[in-house]
Chain A
Amino acid sequence: MKMRAFALRTVKEISRDKLTVLFGLGFPLIVLALLSIIQANIPVPLFEINRLAPGVAVFGLSFVALFSGLLIARDRCTSFLMRLLASPMTAADYIAGYMLPMLPIAVLQSVVCLLAATVWGFRLSLNTLACLAALLPAAALFTGIGTMCGSVFTDRQVGSLCGALLTNLSAWLSGVWFDISLLGGAFEKVARILPFANAVEAARAASAGNWSALPLPLANVCLWAAATVATAVLLFRRSMRRN
């Protein structure tokens, strides 16, 4: 009951923020459109829509981290969290109330992205549902990253520094815009260890029905997501004590 009331508030706060909606839904679509236009003029295998759309969907999830982080940081920086902390809600209520609503928001964002991609020829099939399912661990990962940032930084820091870092990290290390094997070396090794490129590969594999290519990258993302969420919970609890 308490968690439900709080989770509903999270959904309303995020869905009623026009900038959030504009960036969260609009920006990935602009990227999709731009790269598809480039693809139409200078065909590149990487930007072929059935490879591109799952990648852009992962990139879009970095905005979920931003929304989550901003909301928590704003609550901390105003006295709103103090008001809530004086209520009988438990730590689990807070964490679930902040984090769980981000999953349906992430799914909605991915659905919009993949549906929009049909304009440029993305094929919808049962595999699309598998792709959405494969995006869930990435959604949990980005929600965890957002919760970590929101628990540590101020709303300004989350909006500027973390926003820029996150979107760039997920852009450069994900392999959406370029093939990371082309750079090779340490960059490729780091990118293969981190979850961003793995999230893209898992989404692409599920979308293409290439099941043998799915387990390894998906396992990588699941492990990172679990570690990130656990760290986020610890950091949030620490910020509760400090507030």
Chain B
Amino acid sequence: MNAIEIKSLTKRYAGVTAVDRLSLDIPEGEFFALLGVNGAGKSTLIRMLSGLTPATEGEALLLGRSITREAAAAKALIGVSPQETAVAPNLTARENLELMAGVYGLPDGAARADEIIAAFRLDEIEKKAARTLSGGWQRRLSIAMALVSGPKLLFLDEPTLGLDIIARRELWAHIRRLKGRITIILTTHYLEEAVALSDRIGIMSRGRLAAVGAAEELIERSGAASFEDAFIALAGEGAVES
């Protein structure tokens, strides 16, 4: 079964088409990375899929639930880890996790928090206020918060942006453990991150999907020597085929 079915999804703002008739299927359990230069439409697409922005046209189904007609049911299936670290600063790490369990209406918030604390090895910071944590810990907590409700789909928006290489690799290790267990959609500017973590990569350009495939396929298709060259060839001017 497909976790995500996107059918001609379009978003227009005043005179600007941010996402243009985009269609895409993502199977359950896949780790899908979405790449593109700034303004390519990645964030708008994620915002539509996570119910934050209504689509102008088209449709998307999350595990069979329509994001337009069954928004609440679709939202209950997803977890979102936004680009910036999104934590409640004066709450402890544990309280942040319990808060997310609460806003998803889960009665066993403390038990869920226990599970996530163990899985993400947050025990040493669970009683610390989130504002006192380092950037790396805050990002780890931020992703953990997106998982506490037990989502079937996880949207990771630039999860390692601004982190040093050690913290980034640590976070990669945590993200890798999720592979295959839930469907993950990652947006990132770090090409090596997409290559290292994802099963397939979609490259967006001017609101449309310029190419979709495994990293090796995209390199082969573009005739480039490296993934970076392939990305530039596929995401650059005039890359989109109609």
Please give the residue numbers on chain A whose beta carbons come within 8 Å of chain B beta carbons, in ascending order. Answer: 1-2, 4-6, 8-9, 12-13, 16-17, 78-80, 82-89, 93, 243
Contact = CB atoms under 8 A, between A and B. Distances in A.
A6 B86 contact: no
Contacts of A87: 75, 100, 103-104, 149
A16 B89 CA distance: 10
Interface string B107-140: 1010000000000000000000100000000000
A6 B83 CA distance: 22
Contacts of A80: 86-88
A221 to B, nearest CB: 31
Nearest to A17: B90
Nearest to B99: A9
Nearest to B98: A5
Contacts of A83: 80-82, 86, 100, 145-146
B19 to A, nearest CB: 18
Nearest to B104: A87
Nearest to B80: A86
A9 B86 contact: no
Given A12-B91, A83-B145, A2 B86 contact: no
Contacts of B82: 79, 82-83
A88 B78 CA distance: 10
**A-B CB proximity, top 8 nearest:** A5-B102, A79-B82, A79-B86, A16-B90, A86-B80, A79-B84, A83-B86, A86-B50
B95 interface: yes
A86 B75 contact: yes
Contacts of B99: 5-6, 8-9
Given A83-B146, A88-B76, A243-B52, A4 B102 contact: yes
A80 B84 CA distance: 8
B72 interface: yes
Nearest to B92: A12
> Which of B84, B85, B101, B129 has the most C-beta atoms of chain A within 10 angstroms of its own C-beta?
B84
Interface in B36-81: 50-52, 72, 75-76, 78, 80-81
Given A78-B86, A83-B86, A86-B52, A1 B102 contact: yes
Contacts of A79: 82-86
- Summarize A's interface: helix, strand, loop or mixed: helix
B145 to A, nearest CB: 7
Contacts of A4: 102
B83 A88 contact: no
Given A1-B102, A9-B95, A86-B50, 11 more contacts: A1-B105, A5-B109, A9-B88, A12-B95, A79-B85, A79-B86, A80-B88, A82-B82, A87-B75, A88-B76, A88-B104
B102 A12 contact: no
A5 B145 CA distance: 14
A17 B87 CA distance: 15
A143 B85 CA distance: 27
* B78, B88, B107, B145 pick with most chain A CB within 10 angstroms: B88
Contacts of B51: 85-86
Contacts of A84: 103
Given A1-B102, A5-B99, A85-B52, A13 B146 contact: no
A85 B47 CA distance: 10
A2 B101 CA distance: 9
12 contacts: A2-B102, A2-B103, A4-B102, A13-B89, A79-B82, A79-B83, A80-B86, A83-B82, A86-B51, A86-B52, A86-B155, A88-B76
Contacts of B105: 1-2, 88
B165 to A, nearest CB: 23
A86 to B, nearest CB: 4
Contacts of A1: 102, 105, 107
A9 B91 contact: yes
A13 B104 CA distance: 19
A1 B51 CA distance: 21
Contacts of A12: 88, 90-91, 95
Contacts of B145: 83
Give the most central of B83, B86, B98, B101: most A CB within 10 Å: B86
